[in-house]
Amino acid sequence: MTNASNLAPTVAWLGFIIAFILGAISARTQFCTLGAVSDIVNMSDFTRMRMWVLAMAIAILGAQGLYAADLIDLTKAFYTRPNVTWLSYVVGGLMFGVGMTLASGCGSRTLVRIGGGNLKSIVVFAFLAIAAYMTMKGLFGVWRINTLDAVAIDVSRHGIATQELGSLMAPMFGITKKTMQIILACLFAAPMLVFVLKSRDFRSSVDAWLGGLGYGLAVVAGWYITAHLGFGENADTLEMMFFGTNSRAAESLTFVAPYGYSLELLMLWSDKSLIVTFGIATTLGMILGSLAYSLLTRRFRWEGFASIEDTRNHIIGAVLMGAGGVTAMGCTIGQGVSGLSTLAVGSFFALAAMIVGCGATLKYQYWKMMQE
């Protein structure tokens, strides 16, 4: 069997390549989950929301197709664990939604903006990474585990292996979980695709298709890399495991925890136990892909803070995104596309909370502007 010394670098390099391409795509298409909600709230424009929904549909069909073909095992993803920490999903999602609005973009958009020369996003990156790490392993983490994570529903106590919708619903219909997952994937993806395709403007937009398909296929590729190519035998323990991921589980694209792990690697570079993982490689790939596109198209522009208020909002937003994203176990891409593709119950909770938090903050900002 292939050992860790070969698998881990392969997983990281493939993750980097995918993210590099996606960074360039995102820079061209202006794919932005904050923008998707903002366009609806402020202009009743659903184009970028359709891009996001297309990414969700492609990711769901692709991930569940790989699962049905026994190429990956989504029960080993950390999204599908049996412990449904519903309060963490809701509170963390709300925090992330508010944070990304204040910080002018979600985790993936922040990386793309860095590549385009946005100095504000570098500050967001730093504060988001610190807050994420503190919520994983530091002071915020103690509070999270002792309060929010303590409020949970463990479905394994009821004989249900995971929090996938297929696991919950299969016994009701007397069919296998895998069959139920495929049925549900089609039931979710079909109306999503109808919503996307009913817009003539979307159908005729190359960039809209490129953005939605790019993110959706990148998430599917991420699952295949970490859960299939990166799954092998540990030469020391002779146990099968996932190589090249920080969670030691199957992963796909997400842009909160990898910020923290990237900071950890930079600060503890001499620690030989730390390696460049899939998440860290995708973080770097997004920045460099956006940078390459910005330089080639001459769109690279330095941009800084406009005022003290602008600086304050971005720092607060970054901290909320870092803490909220880890608490909710993902961002608008991590939970909103990668997590959703597993059909995990928690991903639906987290995604809904993020959209509500973002929409409410946009409404407040508009009200405040009108008052002034």
Q: Summarize pLDDT for 127-142 with one digit per residue, the tens.
A: 999 999 999 999 999 9
Beta bridge partners of 16: none
Average pLDDT for 84-106: 97
CB 250 within 8 A of CB 223: yes
pTM confidence score? 0.95
Cα–Cα distance between 162 and 201 in angstroms, integer?
A: 40
Q: What is the mean pLDDT of residues 99-109?
A: 96
Residue 5 scores a pLDDT above 80 = no
Q: What is the pLDDT of residue 2?
A: 47
Tell me how many domains the chain contains. Answer: 1
The pLDDT of residue 287 is above 90:
yes
So what's the pLDDT on residue 268? 95
Task: Please say if the pLDDT value at position 201 is more than 90.
Answer: yes
How many residues appear in the chain? 372
Lowest mean pLDDT across 14-18, 187-191, 241-245:
241-245
What is the distance between the alpha carbons of residues 154 and 57, in angstroms, rounded to a whole number? 28
Give the span between the Cα atoms of 367 and 372, in whole angstroms.
9
User: For 51-75, how does the pLDDT look when each residue is reduced to its tens digit (9 = 90+)?
Assistant: 999 999 999 999 999 999 999 999 9
Domain of 227, in residue numbers: 4-371
Q: Which pLDDT value is given to residue 4?
A: 57
- With a cut of 60, say whether residue 338 has pLDDT above it: yes
Picking from 149, 150, 83, 110, the residue whose alpha carbon sits closest to that of residue 320 is 110
Mean pLDDT check: name the lowest of 18-27, 35-44, 146-155, 229-238. Answer: 229-238
SS3 84: strand
Does 371 score more than 90 pLDDT?
Answer: no
Angle between helices 278-296 and 257-267 (to 10 degrees): 90
Residues 128 and 321 sit within 8 Å (Cβ to Cβ): yes
Pairing of strands 153-154, 231-233: unpaired
**pLDDT at 3 > cutoff 60:** no
The pLDDT score that the predictor gives to residue 1 is 41
**pLDDT, averaged across the chain:** 95
Output the pLDDT for position 233.
86
Does residue 192 carry a pLDDT above 70? yes
- Least-confidence region, from 40-44, 278-282, 318-322: 40-44
Q: Report the alpha-carbon distance of residue 48 to residue 38 in Å, rounded.
A: 9
Alpha carbons 320 and 101: distance in angstroms, whole number: 10
Sign of the CA dihedral running 45, 111, 76, 324: negative
Contact 61, 185 (CB under 8 A): yes
Q: What is the pLDDT of residue 13?
A: 97
368 pLDDT higher than 60: yes
Highest mean pLDDT among 15-24, 170-179, 235-244: 15-24
Tell me the three-class secondary structure of 293-342, residue by residue: HHHHCCCCCCECCCCHHHHHHHHHHHHHHHHHHHHCCCCCCHHHHHHHHC
For 342-358, letters b (16+ CB in 10 Å) and e give bbbbbbbbbbbbbbbbb
In the chain, % of residues over pLDDT 90: 94
**In this predicted model, which residue has the larger pLDDT, 12 or 3?**
12
pLDDT of residue 235: 77
Mean pLDDT for 235-254 is 90
Three-state DSSP state, 236: coil
